[in-house]
Amino acid sequence: MAQTACNVGIAVSVIASIFLAVGLGATLYVTTTGSGSNGNTTVTTRSTTPSTTTGNIYQTPCGFCGPEIDVGVTIQNYIVEPFFNHTIELFGMRRRELIFFLENAAKKQKEFRFAGNYGTYGFLVDTINGLKADYSLNKTWWKISDQDMVSLSEGVSSYIPQHRETLIFTFMQSGDH
């Protein structure tokens, strides 16, 4: 029994060291082995060293990461009472998918709490600040746009914000309701 506890302790220490090294921006090497088209074994090693080039994104085992950026998130509803318009600024966050920023906004300010479901195209936000959109019931949805009010062509699980960008979630309703 002591041998098993020791092995578990060593495994936990190794895993903790890896997480610490990744968190400190250390180089992480990922090696994959496979068979080439000629039947020979191929070994590929990739480095996920953080880039010092501004705006450069790199792939790590936990997702896309990039330099620290500042992003604003606004949620607004002018259709159903109680109306609301809240904005939060997130400073010094690693460049990631929009859902990462929405999750951090929800941790900092309760009005930004959201819910939704994963589907074919990623995570679909259907509820923000307790207000649920349901297109089939009342022709409502949450529109995501940039600060110029241009609708995003990607959703929260794939769109990657730019430095100093503000993303706006607006509760919408189709005119034929």
pLDDT, tens digit (0-9, with 9 covering 90-100), for 44-68: 334 334 433 445 555 655 556 789 9
| CB-side neighbour CA atoms (13 Å) of 57 | 15
| Length, in residues, of the chain | 177
Residue 18 CA to residue 124 CA, distance in Å, equals 32
Q: Does pTM top 0.85 for this prediction?
A: no
Selected residue with higher pLDDT from 21 and 76: 76
Selected residue with higher pLDDT from 19 and 160: 160
In this predicted structure, what is the pLDDT of residue 40? 52
When the pLDDT of each residue in the chain is averaged and rounded to a whole number, the result is 76
Average pLDDT over residues 113-123: 95
> Does an H or E element contain 97, and which?
none
Q: Say how many C-beta atoms besides its own lie within 10 A of residue 134's C-beta.
A: 11
Residue 63 CA to residue 122 CA, distance in Å, equals 14
In this predicted structure, what is the pLDDT of residue 22? 39
Residue 48 CA to residue 94 CA, distance in Å, equals 15
Pairing of strands 165-173, 131-132: unpaired
In this predicted structure, what is the pLDDT of residue 65? 76
Average pLDDT over residues 71-81: 97
147: left (phi over 0), alpha (psi -120 to 50) or beta: alpha
List CB contacts of 168: < 8 A, sequence separation 6 or more. Answer: 74, 75, 76, 144, 145, 146, 147, 149
**Residue 165 in this model has a pLDDT that exceeds 90:** yes
Of the listed ranges 17-21, 104-108, 156-160, the least confidently predicted one is 17-21
Percent of the chain with pLDDT over 90: 60
**Residue 33 in this model has a pLDDT that exceeds 50:** no
Average pLDDT over residues 72-89: 97
Residue 149 CA to residue 140 CA, distance in Å, equals 18
Give the sign of the dihedral formed by CA 60, CA 66, CA 67, CA 72.
negative
